[in-house]
Structure 1
C-alpha cells in the first residue's frame, strides 16, 4: 500500500461501507490502522516526533466526514483542540482535502452558538500569520458536502491547504512533497505563536 492508495481507498469505499455497521468493518480498520501506518511511513523522512490518528467515527456510527490527522504532540494530541494537519474526506467522495485546521470540539464547547464565527475569524488571522505560504497552499475554504455540527465546524476551522481529485492520488511523490510542505507550515505556525493572541 502507499499513502495515495490508502487515501483513494477511503474515498472510494466509504459510501458503501457506511451502509454496514462499523464494528469490525475492514474499512474502519484501514482508517484507524492501515492509513495511519502509511502516513507514518510518508513522514519518516521528516525529522521530528508526530502522532498520527485516523477516525471513521465513534461507537456504532460512521463519521459524516472521516479524517486522518498528524499532530505535533507539543501543540496537541487530539483533533478536538489546538491545531493540526488533517486529511478530510468530503461527503461527495470526489475529493480529499489536506487542511491545516483548528480544533473544532473545544471551540464548540467554549463559544457555543458563536463557535463557527469564532473559528472563521481566528482562521483569517492565522492565514495572515502564514501569508507567505498562500501561493503554495491556496485553498482557504472547504466544502465538505454535509450539514452537521462537526462537518460545519471542520469547514470553519480550516486555515489553509490543498485539495486533490481522485486522479491526483496516484502521484505519490506529489503527495509526499505536499505533506512535507504541510508539516513546514504547521511548524511555522507554532514558531509564530500558534493560537496565542487570537
Structure 2
C-alpha cells in the first residue's frame, strides 16, 4: 500500500463504512494504523520524533470527518490544541485536504460560540507568517461538507495547504513532495512564534 492508495481507499470506502458498526471495522483499522504507517513512511529523512495518528471516530460513532495527522510533540500531541499537519476527508465529495491547522477543540473551550470566528480571524495573520509557502500550499480555505461544530471548526482552523481530487492521488511523488512542504511550513510556524499573539490559547 502507498500513501496515495491509503488516502484513496478512505475516500472511496468511508461513506459506506459509516453504515456499519465502527468497532472492529477494517476501514477503521486502515485509518488508525495502515494510513498513518504510510504517512510515516512518506515523511522525509531527517524528521525524527514526529507522531502520526489517525481517527475514524470515537467509541461506537464514526467521525463526520476522519483524519490522519502529524504532530510535533514540542507543539502538541493532539488534534485538540496547538497546531499540526492533517489530512481531512470531506463528507460531500471525493477529495482530501492536506491542511496545516489550528487545534479546534481548544478554541471551542476558550471561546465557546465565538470559536469559529476567532479561528477565522487568526488565519490571515498565520498565513502572513508563512507567506513564503503561499505558492506551494495554495489552499487558503477548505470545505468539509459536514454539519456540526467540529467540521465547521476544522474549516475555520485551516491555515494553508493543498486539496487533492481523487485522480491526483495517483501521483505519489507529488504527495510526498507536498507532505515535505507541509512539514517545512509546520516547522517554520513553530520557529516564527506559532500561535503566540493570537486569540488564546
Shorter chain as normaliser: what TM range?
Answer: over 0.9
Query: What is the Cα deviation at residue 39 of structure 1?
Result: 0.7
Segments of 4+ moved more than 3 angstroms: none
- Work out the CA distance in 2 between the residues paired with 1:152 and 1:126: 19
Residues 85 and 183, structure 1, Cα contact 8 Å, conserved in 2 = yes
Residue 183 of structure 2 is matched in structure 1 by 183
Residue 174 of structure 1 is matched in structure 2 by 174
Question: Structure 1, residues 119-167: CA drift from partner, whole Å, max 9, x if none?
Answer: 0111111011111111111100111011100000000000000000010
Q: Which moved more, 1:40-49 or 1:136-145?
A: 40-49
- Work out the CA distance in 2 between the residues paired with 1:21 and 1:46: 39
Residues 12 and 93, structure 1, Cα contact 8 Å, conserved in 2 = no
- Work out the CA distance in 2 between the residues paired with 1:46 and 1:137: 21
Given the two structures, how large is their TM-score scaled by the length of structure 1?
0.98
Query: What is the Cα deviation at residue 49 of structure 1?
Result: 1.7
Question: Structure 1, residues 23-81: CA drift from partner, whole Å, max 9, x if none?
Answer: 00000000000001111111152433200000000010100000000000100000000
Report the secondary structure of 1:115's partner residue: helix
Residue 113 of structure 1 is matched in structure 2 by 113
Residues 95 and 164, structure 1, Cα contact 8 Å, conserved in 2 = yes
Residues 76 and 83, structure 2, Cα contact 8 Å, conserved in 1 = yes
* Gapped regions of structure 1 (runs ≥ 5): none
Report the secondary structure of 1:146's partner residue: coil
Residues 142 and 158, structure 1, Cα contact 8 Å, conserved in 2 = yes
- Work out the CA distance in 1 between the residues paired with 2:28 and 2:183: 26
Residues 44 and 180, structure 2, Cα contact 8 Å, conserved in 1 = no
| Aligned ranges 1:34-49 → 2 under 5 Å | 34-43=34-43, 45-49=45-49
Across the aligned residues of Structure 1 and Structure 2, the Cα RMSD in angstroms comes to: 0.8
Q: Which moved more, 1:35-44 or 1:149-158?
A: 35-44
Residue 25 of structure 1 is matched in structure 2 by 25
**What is the number of equivalent residue pairs in this alignment?**
198
Report the secondary structure of 1:114's partner residue: helix
Residue 136 of structure 2 is matched in structure 1 by 136
Given the two structures, how large is their TM-score scaled by the length of structure 2?
0.97
